[in-house]
Amino acid sequence: MKVAIDGPAGSGKSTIAHELARRCDLMLLDTGAMYRSVTLACHEQGVDVHDADAVARVAQEVRICFGTDKDGAQTVFLNDRDVTASIRTPGIDADVSAVAAVPAVREAMVAQQRSLAQDNDVVAEGRDIGTVVFPDAEVKVFLTADPAARAHRRALQRNIEDPTQEQEILKDLKRRDQADSTREVAPLRPAEDAVHIDSSSMTIEEEVQQIMALISQARQAAANQTPTSDAPDAGEKEPAKKEPAKPSATPSPKPKPKPEAKEQPEAKDDEPEDPDDRFYDEEMRKFPLRHRALYVATLIICGALSKLLWPWKLENGEELWNAEGGRMVIMNHVSMIDPVIIVISDWAHGRRMRPVYKSEFDKIKIAKWYFARIGAIPVKRGTADIKAVRRAQRAMQRGEDILVFPEGTRVYSDDQEVTIHAGFALMAQLAKVPVLPVAIVGARDGAPGGNKPLRPHRIFMRAGKSITFDELGVKGRKKQAEAMEKAGMEQVYALRDELRKDHPGKM
Ligand code: DC
């Protein structure tokens, strides 16, 4: 599902898109923030924003991604640095239109936008989403508002009370509207099949409701079209009793009614269903027999070889094996063996564990095919990957275990800088399951990575005590998730230190 929200600066796109993302479980893609980030990179590198070739080079080199702060607001990262605040300044406002008008910049950004959105249900906001980035978006909205109202909103957003400054903002908005609408490449204009909404006289809630009705209708049309495993998903995400889309939105000159647009067969061809989706969403025990056989064969072979090479053991494993219902298992990550042996250990005791892995691996087709069939779930790092969060949530609610390495990547030495990814706490919280900390030592020596060969070595794992949200003694969802993130990782590292003490020399 792609939802495209286009419109001029200050038309309320960001607020609306943020609300839609939250209420409809969509990933939020703020494309304006990406052009702003390129502009910031130009400023920082001393590149003249009117030198198209130099600006294009900057755009081709930057890596932009998104995160979420503690209050659930979106954060923007430029080459892994948080630039959320620095891209919303008058200096960036002044130059961003020039940067966004460079064709090679747009090409680079559109490629990044499509890649960020790949495999996700997305609400994207910008100027060319419905026309260029996602021309097949199921829902397209063009938001407008009169310029004075837009300037006033921008002033409020930036805590500006001085009327002269508001006038300056108005002037700048008009200049940018003009520049964005008249540029040669991907000018700001509504897609032919976009629904126009003039927000000057509407409340945010009215706008959100109107667009949610369109989303609901598009999901319904999609569910009717694909009566497969995706149907319940679409239903679940749907607000319980949404009325069908109201025709009160002003359609564009040549309107294409939304549901019919969705039902066009070519829309399906352009964006095929991912055939692996069923493996992420279905109970593992119900996978087709041949895939279950593949799974069992893999685990028996890997189990036998790994036991021979690295006689391993999960201490206090009963905490996991005897657990009622699914568990969120978190673990330190030192080698490629870690997921293999914990999954085997879980399976050998009659349970099923789905490891969560970074979606970059999916670029290798065979890896994606195989991981899907052994129950692994891809997660897009650097984005609020709601789809992965929901998949993990549903798996744990079904009684499957989820394995997350909150360190996000293999940690080769204790000096390596590590960022803890907090997604596990959210997944556990949504599924209402405890978090089980597990530590591993010895695997770093057994499978050192790089070109170094595997070598025999003992590996030890130890499970801690399951941590429930109630026992954290904190109220409020956000605070609880933060407390779980902290407590969970503290336990993992405490267990690891205990193991190192009990088995000296094991890292
Ligand atoms: O939405 P915003 O004000 O953050 O956008 C910043 C600038 O980026 C705006 O002047 C137009 C440009 N932009 C664009 O050209 N295409 C997009 N999809 C998004 C923004």
Cα–Cα distance measured from residue 453 to residue 449, given in angstroms and rounded to the nearest whole number: 8
Q: What is the pLDDT of residue 64?
A: 94
Closest CA to 52 of 109, 101, 107: 101
Phi (first) and psi of residue 345, to 5 degrees: -60, -40
Sign for the pseudo-dihedral over CA of 204, 205, 210, 212 = positive
Give the CA distances from residue 493 to residues 330, 407, 414, 446, 489, in Å, rounded to whole numbers and listed in that order: 11, 11, 11, 20, 6
Pocket test for ligand 1, best of 42, 109, 112, 127 (most atoms within 8 A of CB): 127
Cα(48) to centroid of ligand 1, in Å?
19
Phi (first) and psi of residue 359, to 5 degrees: -70, -10
- Listed in sequence order, the DSSP H helices in 201-334 are 204-225, 230-237, 258-263, 265-270, 277-281, 289-309, 318-321
Ligand 1 atom nearest to 35, measured from its CA: 8
Q: What is the pLDDT of residue 204?
A: 81
Closest CA to 116 of 397, 380, 422, 390: 380
Cα–Cα distance measured from residue 84 to residue 100, given in angstroms and rounded to the nearest whole number: 18
Minimal-distance CA residue to ligand 1 atom 4: 32
Q: What is the pLDDT of residue 181?
A: 85
Q: What is the pLDDT of residue 222?
A: 80
Cα(16) to centroid of ligand 1, in Å?
16
67 bridge partner residues: 75
Q: What is the pLDDT of residue 273?
A: 61
Cα–Cα distance measured from residue 223 to residue 233, given in angstroms and rounded to the nearest whole number: 9
DSSP 379: E
pLDDT in tens, the chain (507 residues): 999 999 998 888 988 999 999 899 899 999 999 999 999 999 999 999 999 999 999 999 999 999 888 777 889 999 989 999 999 999 999 999 999 999 999 999 999 999 999 888 999 999 999 999 999 999 999 998 888 878 887 887 777 777 788 888 889 888 888 888 888 888 888 999 999 998 776 778 888 999 999 999 888 888 776 544 333 333 334 333 333 333 333 333 333 333 333 333 333 333 346 788 889 999 999 999 999 999 999 999 999 999 999 999 999 999 999 999 999 999 999 998 999 999 999 999 999 999 999 988 898 999 999 999 999 999 987 665 778 888 999 999 999 999 999 998 888 888 787 888 888 998 999 899 999 999 999 988 878 777 788 888 899 999 999 999 999 998 888 889 899 999 999 999 999 999 999 988 777
Phi (first) and psi of residue 379, to 5 degrees: -130, 135
Cα(158) to centroid of ligand 1, in Å?
17
Closest CA to 87 of 128, 52, 131, 41: 41
pTM of the model: 0.50
Minimal-distance CA residue to ligand 1 atom 8: 32
Contact 195, 117 (CB under 8 A): no
Q: What is the pLDDT of residue 275?
A: 81
